[in-house]
Amino acid sequence: MNQSVKAKALDRIDISILDTLQKEGRIANVDLAKKVNLSASPCIDRVKRLEKEGFIEGYGARLNSSKLGYGTAAFIQVTLDRTTSDVFDKFREAVVMIPQVAECHMVAGGFDYLLKLRLPNMEAYRSILAQIVDLPGVAQTHTYVVIEQVKNDRGLPLKHHADASTPPL
Protein backbone atom coordinates (compact mmCIF):
# COMPACT_ATOMS: atom_id res chain seq x y z
CA MET A 1 0.00 0.00 0.00
CA ASN A 2 1.09 3.49 -0.67
CA GLN A 3 0.78 6.53 1.56
CA SER A 4 -1.65 5.38 4.25
CA VAL A 5 -4.44 6.01 1.76
CA LYS A 6 -5.37 3.95 -1.24
CA ALA A 7 -4.41 6.09 -4.21
CA LYS A 8 -6.38 5.67 -7.37
CA ALA A 9 -4.96 6.52 -10.75
CA LEU A 10 -4.79 10.18 -11.70
CA ASP A 11 -6.94 11.30 -14.59
CA ARG A 12 -6.51 14.19 -16.97
CA ILE A 13 -8.18 16.62 -14.59
CA ASP A 14 -5.96 15.64 -11.67
CA ILE A 15 -2.88 16.21 -13.77
CA SER A 16 -4.23 19.55 -14.86
CA ILE A 17 -4.90 20.53 -11.25
CA LEU A 18 -1.41 19.53 -10.17
CA ASP A 19 0.14 21.34 -13.09
CA THR A 20 -1.82 24.49 -12.35
CA LEU A 21 -1.13 24.39 -8.63
CA GLN A 22 2.59 23.93 -9.01
CA LYS A 23 2.67 27.11 -11.08
CA GLU A 24 -0.01 29.10 -9.24
CA GLY A 25 -0.12 27.68 -5.76
CA ARG A 26 -2.36 30.40 -4.39
CA ILE A 27 -4.96 30.39 -7.13
CA ALA A 28 -8.51 30.62 -5.80
CA ASN A 29 -10.40 27.36 -5.92
CA VAL A 30 -13.11 29.01 -8.00
CA ASP A 31 -10.57 30.00 -10.63
CA LEU A 32 -8.85 26.64 -10.53
CA ALA A 33 -12.22 25.01 -11.06
CA LYS A 34 -12.88 27.17 -14.12
CA LYS A 35 -9.45 26.37 -15.50
CA VAL A 36 -10.00 22.62 -15.31
CA ASN A 37 -13.65 22.83 -16.38
CA LEU A 38 -15.22 21.82 -13.12
CA SER A 39 -17.41 23.47 -10.56
CA ALA A 40 -15.96 24.50 -7.24
CA SER A 41 -17.07 21.53 -5.14
CA PRO A 42 -15.54 18.62 -7.04
CA CYS A 43 -12.48 20.70 -7.69
CA ILE A 44 -11.70 21.30 -4.04
CA ASP A 45 -12.55 17.67 -3.34
CA ARG A 46 -9.88 16.62 -5.79
CA VAL A 47 -7.34 19.01 -4.34
CA LYS A 48 -8.03 17.68 -0.86
CA ARG A 49 -7.68 14.16 -2.13
CA LEU A 50 -4.40 14.93 -3.88
CA GLU A 51 -3.12 16.42 -0.64
CA LYS A 52 -4.27 13.50 1.48
CA GLU A 53 -2.82 10.94 -0.90
CA GLY A 54 0.51 12.72 -0.85
CA PHE A 55 0.73 13.95 -4.41
CA ILE A 56 0.73 17.47 -3.05
CA GLU A 57 3.16 17.75 -0.16
CA GLY A 58 2.60 21.40 0.59
CA TYR A 59 2.64 24.90 -0.80
CA GLY A 60 5.31 27.52 -0.75
CA ALA A 61 6.13 31.01 -1.89
CA ARG A 62 8.89 31.29 -4.47
CA LEU A 63 11.24 33.92 -3.11
CA ASN A 64 13.78 35.98 -5.01
CA SER A 65 17.02 34.63 -3.65
CA SER A 66 19.17 37.48 -4.97
CA LYS A 67 17.07 40.11 -3.25
CA LEU A 68 17.16 38.14 -0.03
CA GLY A 69 20.89 37.76 0.21
CA TYR A 70 21.39 34.43 -1.50
CA GLY A 71 22.37 35.45 -5.00
CA THR A 72 25.32 33.09 -5.31
CA ALA A 73 25.23 29.32 -5.68
CA ALA A 74 27.97 26.72 -5.67
CA PHE A 75 28.26 22.97 -5.97
CA ILE A 76 30.70 21.00 -3.86
CA GLN A 77 31.74 17.45 -4.57
CA VAL A 78 32.63 15.63 -1.37
CA THR A 79 34.64 12.46 -1.05
CA LEU A 80 34.66 10.67 2.30
CA ASP A 81 37.75 8.96 3.70
CA ARG A 82 36.04 5.62 4.10
CA THR A 83 32.88 4.19 2.64
CA THR A 84 31.54 2.48 5.75
CA SER A 85 27.97 3.15 6.66
CA ASP A 86 28.75 4.76 10.03
CA VAL A 87 30.99 7.31 8.31
CA PHE A 88 28.19 8.06 5.88
CA ASP A 89 25.68 8.40 8.70
CA LYS A 90 27.83 10.81 10.68
CA PHE A 91 28.41 12.95 7.62
CA ARG A 92 24.75 13.04 6.66
CA GLU A 93 23.67 13.95 10.14
CA ALA A 94 26.08 16.85 10.25
CA VAL A 95 25.63 18.20 6.74
CA VAL A 96 21.88 18.61 7.00
CA MET A 97 22.39 20.96 9.94
CA ILE A 98 24.15 23.57 7.83
CA PRO A 99 21.48 26.00 6.61
CA GLN A 100 23.50 27.10 3.60
CA VAL A 101 23.46 23.55 2.28
CA ALA A 102 20.37 23.64 0.12
CA GLU A 103 20.77 20.16 -1.27
CA CYS A 104 22.84 17.10 -0.48
CA HIS A 105 22.79 14.13 -2.81
CA MET A 106 24.57 10.83 -2.41
CA VAL A 107 25.78 9.96 -5.89
CA ALA A 108 27.29 7.07 -7.79
CA GLY A 109 30.44 7.99 -9.64
CA GLY A 110 33.79 9.54 -8.86
CA PHE A 111 32.88 10.97 -5.46
CA ASP A 112 30.36 10.40 -2.67
CA TYR A 113 28.18 13.47 -2.14
CA LEU A 114 27.19 16.44 -4.22
CA LEU A 115 26.17 19.52 -2.26
CA LYS A 116 24.43 22.60 -3.51
CA LEU A 117 25.12 25.74 -1.53
CA ARG A 118 23.34 29.07 -1.45
CA LEU A 119 25.44 32.03 -0.47
CA PRO A 120 25.22 35.79 -0.26
CA ASN A 121 28.45 36.24 -2.21
CA MET A 122 31.86 34.77 -2.79
CA GLU A 123 33.28 36.06 0.48
CA ALA A 124 30.82 33.86 2.33
CA TYR A 125 32.17 30.83 0.53
CA ARG A 126 35.35 30.70 2.54
CA SER A 127 33.66 30.14 5.88
CA ILE A 128 31.20 27.62 4.53
CA LEU A 129 33.93 25.58 2.90
CA ALA A 130 35.78 25.51 6.19
CA GLN A 131 32.68 24.03 7.79
CA ILE A 132 32.26 21.44 5.06
CA VAL A 133 35.86 20.33 5.23
CA ASP A 134 35.56 19.88 8.99
CA LEU A 135 32.53 17.65 8.66
CA PRO A 136 33.09 14.08 9.93
CA GLY A 137 34.70 11.77 7.38
CA VAL A 138 35.45 14.35 4.70
CA ALA A 139 38.60 13.46 2.78
CA GLN A 140 38.49 15.97 -0.05
CA THR A 141 36.22 18.46 -1.77
CA HIS A 142 35.99 20.15 -5.12
CA THR A 143 33.96 23.29 -5.70
CA TYR A 144 32.18 24.58 -8.78
CA VAL A 145 30.84 28.08 -8.48
CA VAL A 146 27.76 28.91 -10.50
CA ILE A 147 28.45 31.70 -12.97
CA GLU A 148 24.98 31.84 -14.45
CA GLN A 149 21.69 30.10 -13.84
CA VAL A 150 20.57 29.05 -17.30
CA LYS A 151 17.53 27.16 -16.06
CA ASN A 152 16.00 26.49 -12.69
CA ASP A 153 12.64 24.76 -12.91
CA ARG A 154 10.93 24.12 -9.62
CA GLY A 155 8.06 22.21 -11.20
CA LEU A 156 7.65 18.79 -12.73
CA PRO A 157 6.92 18.51 -16.46
CA LEU A 158 3.58 16.81 -15.91
CA LYS A 159 2.20 17.46 -19.35
CA HIS A 160 5.11 15.61 -20.92
CA HIS A 161 4.48 12.53 -18.90
CA ALA A 162 1.51 11.11 -20.74
CA ASP A 163 3.67 8.57 -22.54
CA ALA A 164 5.79 5.55 -21.64
CA SER A 165 7.64 4.88 -18.39
CA THR A 166 6.42 4.79 -14.79
CA PRO A 167 2.80 5.86 -14.90
CA PRO A 168 1.66 7.67 -11.74
CA LEU A 169 0.17 4.99 -9.48
Partner DNA sequence: GATTTAACCGTATATAATCTGGCATTAATG
Partner DNA sequence: CATTAATGCCAGATTATATACGGTTAAATC
- Rounded-to-integer distance, Cα 130 and Cα 77, Å: 14
Cα–Cα nearest to 71, from 155, 129, 152: 152
Q: Is 118 in the site for DNA (CB under 7 A)?
A: no
Cα 109 to Cα 126: distance, rounded to the nearest angstrom: 26
- For residue 92, what are the contacts with CB-CB under 8 A and spacing of at least 6? 104
79, interface contact from its own copies, DNA, none, CB < 5-8 Å by kind: none
Q: Work out whether 141 is an interface residue with its own copies (CB under 8 A).
A: no
* Torsional class of 42: left (φ above 0), alpha (ψ -120 to 50), beta (otherwise): alpha
Query: Is 107 among the residues that bind its own copies (CB under 8 A)?
Result: yes
Minimum distance from CB of 85 to its own copies (Å)? Answer: 12
Choose from DNA, its own copies, none: what does 146 bind? Cβ within 5-8 Å by kind.
Answer: its own copies
Residue from 40, 44, 104, 129 in contact with its own copies (CB under 8 A) = 104
Residue type at 137 in one-letter notation: G
Span interacting with DNA, options 41-49, 75-83, 114-122, 133-141, rule CB under 7 A: 41-49
Binding mask 13-32 for DNA (x = CB under 7 A): x--------------xxxx-
CA–CA separation, 29 and 21 (whole Å): 10
Confirm or reject binding of residue 5 to DNA (CB under 7 A): no
| 40 binds DNA, rule: CB under 7 A | yes
Among 5, 30, 106, 139, binds its own copies (CB under 8 A): 106
Distance, CA of 119 to CA of 125 (rounded, Å)? 7
What SS3 state is found at 163? coil
Binding site for DNA (CB under 7 A): 8, 13, 28-31, 37-46
